[in-house]
Homo-oligomer: A and B are copies of this chain.
Amino acid sequence: MVAAIRAAPSAATRAVSLLRTVQYAHPPNCPCHSNPGHHHHARPQVDRYAQHTGRRGFASPVDLSQQKEYAFEMAASSIRFGPGVTQEVGMDFKNMGAKRVCVVTDSTVRHLTATKQVEEALSREGIEFTIFDKVRVEPKDSSIKEAIDFAKPYNPDAFLAVGGGSVIDTAKLMNLYTEYPEADFLDFVNAPLGNGRPIDKKLKPLVAIPTTAGTGSETTGTAIFDLVAKKAKTGIAHRNLKPTLGIIDPLNTKTMPSAVKASSGLDVLCHSLESWTAIPYNQRVPRPTNPILRPAYQGANPISDIFSLSALRSTVKYLPRAVKDPEDFEAQSEMLLAATLAGVGFGNAGVHLCHGMSYPISGQNPGYKHAGYEVAHSIIPHGVSVAVSAPAVFRFTGPSNPERHLAAAEAFGVDISNVKCEDAGAVLADAIAAFLTDLGDQPKGLKDLGFTSEHIDALVEGTIPQARVLMLAPGLQTELEKEREQLRALFEDSMAY
């Protein structure tokens, strides 16, 4: 049987080869790139190991702000997955010696089984707790300050978040600011809106129990909110903000309405697509002068890639099933796991244009109310605001790395064997558009949300401050006027797909 070995590579091997060609050690080898050093990204590609010469950088007076990054760091919360695991959380707090837990949730999740399970689990172990259930969905700085004001006098020795991304993000910031009681709120907020101060203390234990399959916040060091005075969505991002443990219990997402399943699943889709296509970590500038300054959103790297591509494939396979059949528990479970995997992926690589553009889209909503959301006010759910620009975004980013875009298109089931490299972005864009259409109940562009060309200036200006994610967008110019022009074109192209 030895004769069979090392025969022509079969399907999986060829797939692995494809994955390898899009990694860092080699320049792109798309057939259309006869020059292997050719790269569409604005910043020139350098050899991964040419960085050696920079290793004396820390001791010698080299200007690191001009040097490219040479390392990446992967950090993730511990993850426990299983149907029913919510019940273990009381033992977890007991095991870590916590005696006084601040439970964080919102007024809806407060009454769901997940919260009841949590209360029972804590009570069973005799752990004192209080519940803060005033988290605002899509938090503002004011709602977060209210939450912090609740936590400070209670002085908990651990936090437990039960809910979606808004809840988990709010709990992270309650934990942060009770540990830094004297800090100004803007101190830790991402630059340029805030001061971007790194978190140099170890925070209290935070356990996160997601009740939606989308945010991935249970594994990341990121918290997002509206900074009202600046009219911008921004956040705080640092590895030390990440939960100690994410308890991923698929029984907790059974109650998600179908529309919420769809929009949160689209967030997963974009997390995986954006982190997979973000600029490589070793193209990022500057090289940090201290490892604590290395951003979590550091660009694509060999470990985030594994998570992002795996999450993308799961989402393509399971999201339509999860949305269409409320009884399909397998699909729901796989989507919850995919959300977490995507969280590890983008949590260590970052997102870029879909997310950067989504904040003004949802913030400047002309009055759209998404079907299936039973709220009194107009709403563009986060996942919808992210996905609506995806066809335009990946058509734009395609030339930066055609192989990665083709690999993503292939994950959607596209036969890429005869696709030309220069069509990679367009093919992926079409695949995404078809996926969104098949999913149903999705706006077919910004027009369907009520935006017209008159809104574009404001949308562009609302995107510009998202420097933290825009810096990871391949092909985006750094010169402000050129960036503005590119963003304008992207919003125009997002009007209809």
Contacts and interface: CB of A to CB of B under 8 A. Distances in A.
Interface of A: 1-2, 4-16, 18-20, 25, 48-49, 51-52, 54-55, 58-59, 70-76, 78-85, 87-88, 91-92, 95-96, 120-121, 124, 200, 202, 239, 251, 290-292, 301-303, 306-307, 310, 313, 317, 329-330, 333-334, 337, 341, 407, 410-417, 419, 423, 426-427, 430-431, 433-434
Contacts of A25: 330, 333-334
Nearest to A19: B12
A79 B251 CA distance: 31
A121 B91 CA distance: 40
Most chain-B Cβ atoms within 10 A of its Cβ — which of A15, A313, A416?
A15
A83 B59 contact: no
A305 to B, nearest CB: 9
A80 B70 contact: no
B412 A5 contact: yes
A54 to B, nearest CB: 7
A303 B79 contact: yes
B95 A9 contact: no
Contacts of A317: 20
Q: Which 6 A-B pairs have the closest CB atoms?
A: A71-B82, A55-B84, A15-B15, A12-B15, A7-B415, A75-B78
Given A337-B302, A430-B5, A292 B124 contact: no
B7 A239 contact: no
A426 B5 CA distance: 12
Given A11-B18, A59-B120, A78-B239, 19 more contacts: A1-B430, A5-B434, A8-B415, A9-B415, A12-B19, A12-B410, A12-B411, A13-B411, A13-B413, A16-B313, A48-B330, A51-B83, A54-B84, A55-B83, A55-B84, A59-B124, A70-B83, A75-B78, A75-B79
B55 A10 contact: no
